[in-house]
């Protein structure tokens, strides 16, 4: 007699392997039954071991912690065994998610990093001991939640990346302009406008970025890693300097050949456009020519709206007077636009350098997780 696995579970386990997540079966069933199901689901691999609770009693906790990664199936276990297994994985440095539905699962659910109780058939004790409740009692849903969790983390990181880089760009513009002996490239009211429109709208849109195609083919991020790990600070500083220097180039050209007001207008348009264009570079660590730019309709909308309002402020006399701007001729517009799109080729080069320097780990089915 056997309780067959649910539809989609085999594919979900396969996805977990690709994502660097080890799936472990802990059951009260006979070990022969457990092994048969685990092999069918590819939980029990060629080099993995299965063990019973009785055998587990013979292994000291220290030794279990050292060898825990070798085991994929635990059969005929008690609540105490489940807690030992959870703690062994934690001591091995893993982040442990534990599922359960009965009263006897509650100690392990409590001790796990993420306790997941069954919503349909789970007891109230298990639900109270858990961190999450799975409303459909389906393992596939957990894998979908992992994907969403990774996407949320990515988007928070991208939004912080964008906001700090663009703010550094604004600081560089003012600070370097003063050091080089220019009059202030941007006025206070112009900086406030840039912060309100070309900073805020793309940052919100980046926070709504859909998951990248390879998001479940990546190695899990260590819990000890900070949000600025893997060279993010270096990228932020380089990109901030890039935005600031390109803005100063636009200001310098306008100031030298057409006067201070034209220079400030070109700088104002350039920094706004540079930030809007740069928001597409933040979408992914990969080239935007590989990932595409049309998946996030919110980012497209923020770009169109940002360009529209930035242009309106310059060409409508009432707004232009408030922001101390002047109309530009065709040549001045062309120069400003060319400078504004330069972050694309510059960032494509930086992404290639980062890929070579830091690498990218992709898990495949043949690898032992």
Q: Could you tell me if 233 and 331 lie in one domain? A: yes
Q: Could you tell me if 112 and 155 lie in one domain? A: no
Q: Which of 275, 249, 248 is nearest to 347 (CA)?
A: 275
What pLDDT, on the 0 to 100 scale, is given for residue 366?
39
Axis-axis angle for helices 343-358, 260-281 (nearest 10): 40
Q: How many domains does the chain have?
A: 2
Q: Is residue 72 part of a domain?
A: yes
Domain of 58: which CATH number?
Answer: 3.40.50.1000
Q: Could you tell me if 328 and 305 lie in one domain? A: yes
Q: Is residue 179 part of a domain?
A: yes
Is-contact 112 98, C-beta < 8 A?
Answer: yes
Q: Could you tell me if 252 and 183 lie in one domain? A: yes
Q: Could you tell me if 97 and 202 lie in one domain? A: no
What pLDDT, on the 0 to 100 scale, is given for residue 3?
62
Q: Could you tell me if 110 and 216 lie in one domain? A: no
CA torsion sign for 302, 303, 309, 310 is positive
CA distances from 321 to 151, 314, 327, 336, 350 (A): 43, 9, 10, 20, 39
Q: Could you tell me if 85 and 156 lie in one domain? A: no
Identify the segments of the chain with pLDDT beneath 70: 1-4, 354, 358-369
What pLDDT, on the 0 to 100 scale, is given for residue 315?
93
Among the three residues 79, 111, 143, which one is the final residue of a domain in this structure?
143
Domain of 290: which CATH number?
Answer: 1.20.1110.10
What pLDDT, on the 0 to 100 scale, is given for residue 286?
82
Q: What count of other Cβ atoms lies within 10 Å of the Cβ of residue 135?
A: 10
What pLDDT, on the 0 to 100 scale, is given for residue 365?
39
Q: Is residue 161 part of a domain?
A: yes
What contacts 24+ positions apart, CB below 8 Å, involve 291-300?
Answer: 291/212, 291/213, 295/209, 295/210, 296/205, 296/206, 296/208, 296/209, 296/210, 298/204, 298/205, 298/208, 299/202, 299/205, 299/206, 299/208, 299/209
Q: Could you tell me if 214 and 125 lie in one domain? A: no
Domain that holds residue 285: 151-358
Among the three residues 126, 143, 160, which one is the final residue of a domain in this structure?
143
What pLDDT, on the 0 to 100 scale, is given for residue 363?
39
Q: Could you tell me if 321 and 207 lie in one domain? A: yes
Q: Is residue 46 part of a domain?
A: yes
Q: Is residue 333 part of a domain?
A: yes
Is-contact 277 290, C-beta < 8 A?
Answer: no
Helix, strand, coil content of the chain in percent (nearest 5) = 60, 5, 30
Q: Could you tell me if 159 and 292 lie in one domain? A: yes
Q: Could you tell me if 183 and 200 lie in one domain? A: yes
- Residues constituting the chain: 369
Give the HSE-up count for residue 118: Cα atoms under 13 Å, Cβ half-sphere: 14
- Strands 71-75, 114-118: pairing is unpaired
The first and second tokens of residue 210, run together, are 């859909």
Q: Is residue 367 part of a domain?
A: no
What pLDDT, on the 0 to 100 scale, is given for residue 57?
93
What pLDDT, on the 0 to 100 scale, is given for residue 61?
93
């Amino acid at each position: 007699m056997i309780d067959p696995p649910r539809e989609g579970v085999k594919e979900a386990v396969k996805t977990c392997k690709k994502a660097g997540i080890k799936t472990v079966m802990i059951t009260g069933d006979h070990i022969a039954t457990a092994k048969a199901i685990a092999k069918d689901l590819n939980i029990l691999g060629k080099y993995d071991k299965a063990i019973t609770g009785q055998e587990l009693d013979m292994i000291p906790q220290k030794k279990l912690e050292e060898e825990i990664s070798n085991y994929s199936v635990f059969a005929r276990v008690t609540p105490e065994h489940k807690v030992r297994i959870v703690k062994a994985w934690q001591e091995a440095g893993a982040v442990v998610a534990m599922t359960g539905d009965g009263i006897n699962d509650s100690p392990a659910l409590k001790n796990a990093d993420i306790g997941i109780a069954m919503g349909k058939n789970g007891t109230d004790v298990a639900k109270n001991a858990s961190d999450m409740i799975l409303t459909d009692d389906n393992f596939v849903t957990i894998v979908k939640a992992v994907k969403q969790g990774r996407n949320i983390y990515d988007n928070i990181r991208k939004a912080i990346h964008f906001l700090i880089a663009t703010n550094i760009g604004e600081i560089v513009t003012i600070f370097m302009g003063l050091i080089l002996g220019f009059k202030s490239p941007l006025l206070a009211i112009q900086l406030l406008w840039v912060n309100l429109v070309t900073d805020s709208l793309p940052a919100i849109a980046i926070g709504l970025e859909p998951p990248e195609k390879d998001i479940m083919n990546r190695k899990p991020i260590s819990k000890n890693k900070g949000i600025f790990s893997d060279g993010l600070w270096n990228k932020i500083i380089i990109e901030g300097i890039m935005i600031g220097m390109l803005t100063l180039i636009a200001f310098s050209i306008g100031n030298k050949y057409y006067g201070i007001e034209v220079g400030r207008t070109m700088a104002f348009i350039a920094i706004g456009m540079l930030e809007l264009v740069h928001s597409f570079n933040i979408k992914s660590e990969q080239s935007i020519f590989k990932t595409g730019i049309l998946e996030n309709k919110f980012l497209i909308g923020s770009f169109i709206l940002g360009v529209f309002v930035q242009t309106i402020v310059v060409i409508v006399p009432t707004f232009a007077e408030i922001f101390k701007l002047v109309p530009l001729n065709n040549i001045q517009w062309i120069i400003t636009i060319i400078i504004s799109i330069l972050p694309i080729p510059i960032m494509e080069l930086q992404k290639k350098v980062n890929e070579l320097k830091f690498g990218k780990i992709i898990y495949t089915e043949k690898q032992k997780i």
